[in-house]
A and B are shown apart, each in its own frame.
Chain A
């Protein structure tokens, strides 16, 4: 049986270079200081920023865009602070997420949050019950939080997910 062998290509890295944050991924020398600093890498078995960038540099487009891994980045930017070559894995993965979202690859957790956000204009509408309202009143804080629930609906088209997609 012939195994499919991946042919390395720089096209994915070039594609990412067009998205803000993805410009300097080519400078990576794979030294691993990002992974050494990353709290997520420490406590998971699959997430290795250096390895993910390696896949980008080798052009493994499908695998990277479909993967859950870029969504695990906490954007703490410790990798960016430490990289001696000037690469920011946090920014690179941000660019990957944007590209992934454009192609419809968004984790279900993010979809759920976006639904709530689009409806209410803020994240915790479902958690703001009478109990919390009363607590605020007791403390002398205004219980009416004044969130605008219309604006996000107006710009829905800018967001690459419609309800119930993929």
Chain B
């Protein structure tokens, strides 16, 4: 069983624990044990990042050093955490001065950053480390007659030169995984546009409008479910549908890719946290062959 440290971020454990649960269970089936990291802080995305590059570097550097201490790589669930840690790693690897400054602070705890730890987003673990063939072997109840719209999220795929997860202009990992699970992945206008999540900090009305534009486009092509790879996107795309602009009957279910895959892999709904999904996933689960 390959082991990897799971950096959960601030949001998932509180607002979308089902994503954490489903991911750990799916990865376990696929031979990867995700061990939650302890003693860490927030990764510093958006807030610390905007205020001080030094603070940002040392916060991220500490998280990376903690993993390095355990001689394990880091798995992230959230796009923002993934982006932050990868960018910090990139900065520390390429700027010896910054690295020295950070290591001076880390030395106080007996930690050191040398760059050995890799940061992998969930999509990388699935597509590159585990591989499509292995996942296909585990599909026991493929979906039938289901159209999915993949939402990758901005921080997962951009900037490509640093994060290297998938082609930002034409990403395919979630689409391929969904097809392996028997669904049809459909293209839709604005597929690589932002969900609006980061805007929640400054203006919730604008954030909601941005999210709703995505929902509208997904509806145009007749997709039955939106698949995500970041809890922030998931929460935002769910939340923006609970607004008077969208009728309750027109809400499109949103779920993380691991919940979606887990059901097709025959994992119990309880172990995937489906009862917590705010928009009912029933229509999706009914498409699993051989019924529920």
- The interface of chain A, by Cβ under 8 A from chain B, is 19-20, 39-40, 42-44, 68, 71-72, 74-78, 80-81, 88, 94, 97-98, 101, 106-107, 109-110, 113-114, 117, 121-124, 127-128, 132, 135-136, 139-142, 145-148, 151-152, 154-155, 158-161
Contacts and interface: CB of A to CB of B under 8 A. Distances in A.
A110 B10 contact: no
B14 A124 contact: yes
A159 B206 contact: no
A76 B158 contact: yes
B36 interface: yes
In the complex, the 5 A-B pairs of residues with the closest C-beta atoms, listed nearest first: A146-B38, A76-B194, A76-B154, A74-B198, A158-B55
A72 B46 contact: no
A74 B195 CA distance: 10
Kindly name the residue among B42, B58, B159, B206 whose own CB sees the greatest number of chain A CB atoms within 10 A. Answer: B42
Interface in B1-39: 8, 10-11, 13-15, 17-18, 20-21, 36-39
B210 A39 contact: yes
Given A141-B20, A146-B36, A146-B37, 16 more contacts: A20-B91, A77-B159, A78-B154, A81-B169, A94-B50, A98-B50, A98-B51, A98-B52, A110-B50, A124-B14, A139-B17, A141-B13, A141-B21, A145-B8, A146-B39, A155-B59
A109 B59 CA distance: 21
Interface residues of B, number: 55
B58 A123 contact: no
Interface string B210-224: 100100000000000
Contacts of B48: 114, 117, 159
Nearest to B159: A77
B118 interface: no
Contact of B202 (A19, A72, A80, A158): A72
B273 interface: yes
Nearest to B270: A139
Contacts of B53: 19-20, 98
Contacts of A19: 53
Contacts of B38: 146
Kindly name the residue among A74, A80, A151, A160 whose own CB sees the greatest number of chain B CB atoms within 10 A. Answer: A74
Contacts of B51: 97-98, 101, 106, 110, 114, 159-161
Given A146-B38, A160-B52, A39 B194 contact: yes
Interface of B: 8, 10-11, 13-15, 17-18, 20-21, 36-42, 46-55, 58-59, 62, 91, 105, 108, 154-155, 158-159, 168-169, 192-194, 196-199, 201-203, 206, 209-210, 213, 273, 276
Contact of B154 (A72, A74, A145): A74
A124 to B, nearest CB: 5
11 contacts: A20-B53, A39-B213, A43-B209, A71-B202, A76-B198, A77-B158, A113-B201, A117-B48, A141-B13, A145-B13, A154-B105
Contacts of A127: 14-15
A80 B154 CA distance: 11
Contact of B159 (A44, A68, A80): A80
B58 A155 contact: yes
Nearest to B45: A75
A137 to B, nearest CB: 10
A160 B50 CA distance: 11
B50 A77 contact: no
Given A110-B51, A148-B39, A78 B192 contact: yes
